[in-house]
Chains A and B, each alone.
Chain A
Amino acid sequence: MIGLEHVLVVGALLFSIGLYVALSKRSAVGILMGIELMLNSVNLNLVGFARFVESPRPIDGQVFTVFVITVAAAEAAVALALAVSVYRLRESIDVDRLNILKW
């Protein structure tokens, strides 16, 4: 019997794994992978709420999910364009080495 709690637990676990990946990777693409995992976990929670929670218009969860996917696509495009552009200047996308602006 799958209830709302199961979905929320899966979402929370995926979020924590995504947070670990986003904070602990050196490459910009690695950080982006963590961010996408976190966004996926949020989408999973939203779809779970749309399915299980009493609401006057229960489809709102899925609509919100479609918007999050759209924004994630836009953000991934810009983030990767930034990574490629920075690579052209510094020949590395290791975020520990991109420290020109330090005080």
Chain B
Amino acid sequence: MEDTAVIVAFYVLTIVTLGSALMVATVRDLVHAVLFLVLSFVGVAGLYITLSADFVAVVQVLIYVGAISVLMLFAILLTPRASRDNASVPYAAPIGVLAGLLGAVIIFVALKTDWATAPGGNKFETTAAEIGKALLDPFVIPFEVASVLLVIAMLGAILLVRPGEGGEPG
């Protein structure tokens, strides 16, 4: 990835993603936090595009921004008397230190390891076609299991929020 444009895009998208992730942690209002989360999702989708993963980037926007964010906003909406002020627990500072330490350890290990990088990186012609072939030939069982999982999750979610018995209190 030697193009100047790709490098500039990568850094800009990194700043957008990490900045909005930090805003998720610190902003006062819960709805604002969800919207900053949406911005970080879009940033991550842009990072996928700089890494030649166009299909995954579009799937990320479609599912995360289009569905999961709407789901979170609905959940905030359907809980009107819950507190909406994105508060942190009192012991948040040690957690910050812990998370920072963990991030530092991961960065150290990642930089030290000798990854078997292919020279010049891997080139894909059409990632969608290759992902499709991989989903049907080597990964067909996880594919089918994932569809069963989605059906189960859908049924579970519907059963939990159905009015009537008021959910399953047990």
Interface, chain A (partner B; CB < 8 A): 1-10, 12-21, 23-27, 29-30, 32-33, 36-37, 40, 43-44, 47-48, 50-55, 57-60, 62-63, 65-67, 69-78, 80-85, 87-89, 91-94, 96
Contact = CB atoms under 8 A, between A and B. Distances in A.
10 contacts: A2-B10, A8-B106, A14-B17, A20-B95, A24-B88, A36-B37, A57-B138, A62-B55, A66-B135, A94-B83
Contacts, number: 258
The 6 closest A-B pairs by CB, nearest first: A16-B103, A74-B153, A81-B157, A85-B167, A8-B110, A54-B118
Most buried by B among A8, A40, A91, A93: A40
Interface of B: 1-2, 6-7, 10, 14, 17-18, 21-22, 24-25, 30, 33-34, 37, 40-41, 44, 47-48, 50-53, 55-56, 59-60, 63-64, 67-68, 71-72, 74-76, 78-79, 81-84, 86-89, 91-92, 95-96, 98-100, 102-103, 106-107, 110-111, 115-118, 121-122, 124, 127, 130-131, 134-135, 138-139, 142, 146, 149-150, 152-154, 156-158, 160-161, 166-169
B135 A63 contact: yes
A65 B124 contact: no
A8 B109 CA distance: 10
Contacts of A80: 71-72, 74-75, 157
A54 B116 contact: yes
Nearest to B147: A70
- The secondary-structure label for the interface of chain A is helix
Contacts of B7: 1-2
B160 A81 contact: yes
A26 B103 contact: no
- The secondary-structure label for the interface of chain B is helix
